[in-house]
Chain A
């Protein structure tokens, strides 16, 4: 029955309209589902001073993974290395290395914080990558917990190249205290003009972001949009029975879906059996 109604011009128009409404509701529901991810919340947070989230000892809290931070300290050009096996942030597909230079901070303790400040191809020798000049630096970036030692990293690397980026490796290279975090610098700002010196590609974005709980509000909005889509479907079903006469002569058949509804009123004049409010003439 429904198929025959859809096949009419009017039925097709009503169906197309309803399909658009359902699609819009589902798209909005998907949008809210995506918005509910905590990813956006952590990354969208205003930068906090590094010492607020980096402990003097111990690990970064999971909820602070990927949090934007402002880092103020002194460049240590003599504490620079490359980190192996990194994809080109610009998306060329090439594998290269991160350029990492330490920044010495005094808060929350006197220690070095490694800063990822760019990417170079594998062809560049570590000695050829210039370091930023010693002195004060102020930059923004994303704070990340140290990468763990694991057997996926190729531990055999040339001098000046680290297999991974983490305090577990760096304590063997640098005599100073090293924070158990690193910071991936954002695009260089006014005071961070030295950040990208000597690098070849775009700045790497944050790699690990806190996997907190979803925002329950957006989850609920998503559920609601799905229900609204279902309601649009029901209204479409009602509209098909109300507006589209069956090609064969049958028109609207009583109250659609209601008790006592009859589909077989063939022979009745379709238009005259409608109980439209407007037809209750005064």
Chain B
């Protein structure tokens, strides 16, 4: 995520806020924070399930640990699939509220399919949204 520029002056974003950009007012900030929380919770759940699923797939198709079993993957994969559905929904919701460019949105959504990368994405998303919210607070109530 090379777009991550935490040292940027948040007020440089205020030029587009009147254009329907993110976080001009307390109400929208509150909703953005709520969307972020929902995304973070499901991102962690999906991330953990994906790690377990990775182990399960290895157990199913290789002789790692000396035996094969499909119990782990058969148990986890349907649950993980539904988790990823929720991840997509919350991710899109957050992306729209935050006003990400499409490539950022796609990156965040697809990061949920790569083991460990979802944790990286979650950290980046949290910092990004918090920066915007604090920018809105600094700009004062609209």
A281 to B8, CA, bound (A): 6
The A-contacting residues of B in range 44-82, CB under 8 angstroms, are 74, 77-78, 81-82
Stretch in A192-200, A201-209, A260-268 touching the partner: A260-268
In Å, the complex CA distance between A260 and B22 comes to 10
A238:B13 contact, CB within 8 angstroms: no
Which residue of chain B is the closest to A257 with respect to CB atoms?
Answer: B96
Q: Are A242 and B101 in contact (CB under 8 A)?
A: yes
Contact (Cβ within 8 A) A255 B102: no
Q: Does the CB pair B101–A277 fall under 8 Å?
A: yes
Does A282 belong to the interface (CB within 8 Å)? Answer: yes
Among candidates A221, A238, A253, A278, residue contacting B95 with C-beta atoms closer than 8 Å = A238
A224 to B87, CA, bound (A): 12
How far is B16's CA from A238's CA once the two chains are assembled, in angstroms? 18
Tally of chain A residues near chain B (CB < 8 A): 34
Is A277 a contact of B5 with CB atoms below 8 Å? yes
* A24 close to B (CB within 8 Å): no
Cross-chain contact B21 with A275 (CB below 8 angstroms)? yes
Q: Are B102 and A243 in touch, CB under 8 angstroms? A: yes
Number of A-B contacts (CB under 8 A): 100
Q: Which of chain A's residues 207-244 have a Cβ closer than 8 Å to chain B?
A: 216-217, 220-221, 224, 227-228, 231, 234-235, 238-239, 242-243
Smallest CB separation, B115 vs chain A (Å): 18
If A242-B101, A254-B20, A273-B16 touch, whether A221 touches B81 (CB-CB below 8 Å) is yes
Distance A173 CA – B92 CA, assembled complex (angstroms): 71
- The answer to whether B7 touches A282, judged by C-beta atoms less than 8 angstroms apart, is yes
Our pick among A220, A235, A238, A253 for the contact of B78 (Cβ within 8 Å) is A220
A132-170 interface (Cβ within 8 A of B): none
- Chain B residues, CB < 8 A from A259: 20, 28
Query: Chain A residues near B102 (CB, 8 Å)?
Result: 235, 238-239, 242-243
* A residues less than 8 Å from B74 (CB atoms): 217
A255 to chain B, nearest CB (A): 3
Q: Is the CB of B85 within 8 A of A228?
A: yes
Complex CA–CA separation, A237 to B28 (angstroms)? 23
> At the interface, is chain B mostly helix, strand, loop or mixed?
helix
Chain B residues with CB under 8 Å of A280's CB are 5, 8-9, 12-13
Given A224-B85, A280-B5, are A235 and B20 neighbors across the interface (CB < 8 Å)?
no
Q: Are A224 and B82 in contact (CB under 8 A)?
A: yes
Q: How far is the CB of A5 from chain B (nearest CB, A)?
A: 13
What size tier do the contact residues of chain B reach?
35 or more
Contact assessment for A224 and B99 in the assembled complex, using a CB-CB cutoff below 8 Å: no
Q: How far is the CA of A277 from the CA of B5 in the complex (A)?
A: 8
Q: Is the CB of A255 within 8 A of B88?
A: no
Across the interface, name the chain B residue whose C-beta is closest to A276: B101
B104 at the interface (CB under 8 A from A): yes
Q: Which residues of B contact A73 (CB under 8 A)?
A: none
| Beta-carbon contact of A274 and B101 below 8 Å | yes
Q: Is A256 an interface residue (CB 8 A)?
A: yes
Residue on A nearest B100 in the bound complex, by CB:
A277
A258 within 8 A of B: yes
Residue contact B3 to A255, C-beta cutoff 8 Å? no
Least Cβ distance of A116 to chain B in Å? 35
- Is A282 touching B8 in the complex (CB atoms < 8 A)? yes
| Nearest A residue (CB) for B81 | A224
Q: Is the CB of B99 within 8 A of A275?
A: yes
The answer to whether A262 touches B13, judged by C-beta atoms less than 8 angstroms apart, is no
Q: What CA separation (Å) do A16 and B104 show in the bound complex?
A: 20
B106 CB-CB contact with A under 8 Å: yes
User: Within the assembled complex, what's the spacing in Å between the Cα atoms of A282 and B21?
Assistant: 20
Whether B88 pairs with A228 at a CB distance below 8 angstroms is yes
CB-nearest residue of chain A to B97? A258
Measured between beta carbons, the chain A residues less than 8 angstroms from B85 are 224, 227-228, 231
Is B109 engaged at the interface, CB distance under 8 Å to the other chain? yes
A residues contacting B by CB (< 8 A) are: 216-217, 220-221, 224, 227-228, 231, 234-235, 238-239, 242-243, 253-262, 265, 273-278, 280-282
